[in-house]
Amino acid sequence: MDETISDLKKKLAEKELEITKLKEELNKSEQIASEARQASEAKSRFLASMSHEIRTPMNGVLGFLELVEQEVYESKEELKGFISKARSAAESLLDIINNILDISKIEAGKMELDNVDFSLREVLEETVSMVYALANEKGLVINCYLGSGVPLILQGDPVRLRQVFSNLIGNAIKFTNRGAIEVSIELKEIVDNTAVILSTIKDEGTGIPQEKIDLLFKPYAQIANSYTRTHSGTGLGLRICKEFINMMGGEIWVESKEGKGSSFFFTAKFKINEHSPAFGS
């Protein structure tokens, strides 16, 4: 009997020791998780801070370059070319900085969308005007189609929607050397005074290998194949597009064939302004 009690006490002590070790491991895991969260938050704060610090002087550089460009408009063509290249480089850097700032806000949970009345047609026209020069330099045509029935006045965030279009159309131009870029916006359905809009951006570019498509929208992923060696990028643009589209209640996907081009599709939901006419009505 005493022996049995002794064995039980021994087993109980062993179990208590195991429980103590498990608690210690759990505490360590919680501490590691807490440190990881703190590190992530610190990284996001740092990125946001650095982005703001860099954006201010960069905007100043762009402003002065624009003034100088205007002053030498009638001057030497070579000097104008240098200034134009400097301005283009500064704008590219500013785009990267803006992407870093956006992703840091998203990761910190501080990104919010506006909700204002806007014209879908104007958003598309403004986006195309922003990228027209780049397309024209490469001899590319941008064809736009706005489907019948699409409400002309919607409620949402036109700035972020324009950013999505700009990223996707810009990518299409970047990876296309000849042919056309097709941009279409169609009404998918209307539910409870909310329009579900389907947008398609189709190019005739290099295309994406099937095994790489899943990497497109992952954080900080850059597709490692032939076309990235001739085109720079941070890999943040598509991730940001996906986040904004998710916030708009939609989704994004891609169909692509290497050497044949790619088609990016995304849906987004917007409340309809009660006084809005429909395109084509």
Looking at per-residue pLDDT, the higher value among 177 and 72 belongs to 177
**What is the model's pLDDT at position 228?**
43
- CATH code of domain 116-272: 3.30.565.10
Q: Are 191 and 213 in contact (CB under 8 A)?
A: no
The reply to whether domains 2-107 and 116-272 share a CATH topology is no
- CATH code of domain 2-107: 1.10.287
Mean pLDDT of the 177-191 span: 94
Whether the predicted pLDDT of 221 surpasses 60: no
One-character DSSP codes across the chain? -HHHHHHHHHHHHHHHHHHHHHHHHHHHHHHHHHHHHHHHHHHHHHHHHHHHHHHHHHHHHHHHHHHHHHHTTTS-HHHHHHHHHHHHHHHHHHHHHHHHHHHHHHHTT------EEEEHHHHHHHHHHHHHHHHHHTT-EEEEEE-TT-BSEEEE-HHHHHHHHHHHHHHHHHT--SSEEEEEEEEEEEETTEEEEEEEEE--S----GGGGGGTTSTT----SGGGGTS---S-HHHHHHHHHHHTT--EEEEEETTTEEEEEEEEEEEEPTTPPBTT-
**What is the model's pLDDT at position 110?**
81
**What is the model's pLDDT at position 50?**
63
Distance, first Cα to last Cα, the chain = 94
Mean pLDDT of the 103-117 span: 85
Mean pLDDT of the 165-191 span: 93
Mean pLDDT of the 131-142 span: 89
Tokens of residue 193, six digits: 């005074």
Burial class (CB in 10 A: 0-12, 13-18, 19+), 262: buried
Per-domain boundaries in the chain: 2-107, 116-272
Query: Which residues, other chains included, contact 55 with Cβ-Cβ below 8 Å and sequence gap of 6+?
Result: 94, 97, 98, 101
Tens of pLDDT, residues 60-99:
777 777 777 776 665 667 677 677 777 777 777 777 778 7
- The rounded distance, in Å, linking the Cα atoms of 228 and 212 is 12
Q: Which of 30-44, 171-185, 201-215 has the highest mean pLDDT?
A: 171-185
* Confidence category of residue 49, pLDDT binned at 50, 70, 90: low
- Mean pLDDT for the chain? 81
* Confidence category of residue 45, pLDDT binned at 50, 70, 90: low
Whether the predicted pLDDT of 2 surpasses 80: no
What proportion of the chain, given as a percentage, has pLDDT over 90?
36
Whether the predicted pLDDT of 279 surpasses 90: no
**What is the model's pLDDT at position 172?**
93
